[in-house]
């Protein structure tokens, strides 16, 4: 099952990240995970939020370039080697991981956000391997 990630392109200048976060706060949008990668001039902010469609819209209305991207949120048991086992399953099917980052929610498992080149295939493989993913409904309730 995939969820929507909000991606925001922001200028690499002082205060710009704070402006994005203010827009989300003013619209009662809760950030569950955040990743920021930068270049010399721009940053790519990736967010998992409880209301992704609304977040994209309010950010666009505030002048920020934003879009939704489908990603997986994979539940990873708190046990040494768990992530490696999941990555091995995906690699055996020749699926490439484009990026991933951590997600912290109050559960007994850790979670990671993952973007692959074949989301549907990755979902099916994880499901068949009895590896849980988070749903849009679960994210919206956090």
25 and 45 share one domain: yes
- pLDDT recorded at residue 14: 85
Out of 29, 47, 69, pick the residue that ends a domain.
Answer: 69
Taking the C-alpha atoms of 28, 69, 118 and 76 in order, what is their torsion angle to the nearest 10 degrees?
A: -30
Backbone angles phi, psi at 38, to 5 degrees: -130, 160
Q: Which residues contact 102 (CB under 8 A, 6 or more apart)?
A: 33, 110, 111, 112, 113
Domain-ending residue, one of 69, 103, 120 = 69
pTM score? 0.78
Same domain? For 32 and 54 the reply is yes
Name the stretches of the chain with pLDDT < 50: none
pLDDT tens digits, 59-69: 999 999 999 99
């Amino acid at each position: 099952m995939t969820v929507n990630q909000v991606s925001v392109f922001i200028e690499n200048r002082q205060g710009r990240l704070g402006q994005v976060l203010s827009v989300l706060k003013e619209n009662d949008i809760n950030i569950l995970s955040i990743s920021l990668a930068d270049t010399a001039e721009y940053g790519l902010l990736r967010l998992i939020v409880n209301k992704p469609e609304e977040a994209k819209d309010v950010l666009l209305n505030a002048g920020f370039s934003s879009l939704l991207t489908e990603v997986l949120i994979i539940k990873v048991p708190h046990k040494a080697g768990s992530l490696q086992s999941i990555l091995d399953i995906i690699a055996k099917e020749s699926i490439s991981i484009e990026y991933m980052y951590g997600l912290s929610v109050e559960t007994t498992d850790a979670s990671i956000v993952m973007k692959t080149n074949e989301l549907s295939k990755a979902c099916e493989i994880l499901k068949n391997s009895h590896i849980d993913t988070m749903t849009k409904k679960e994210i919206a309730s956090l």
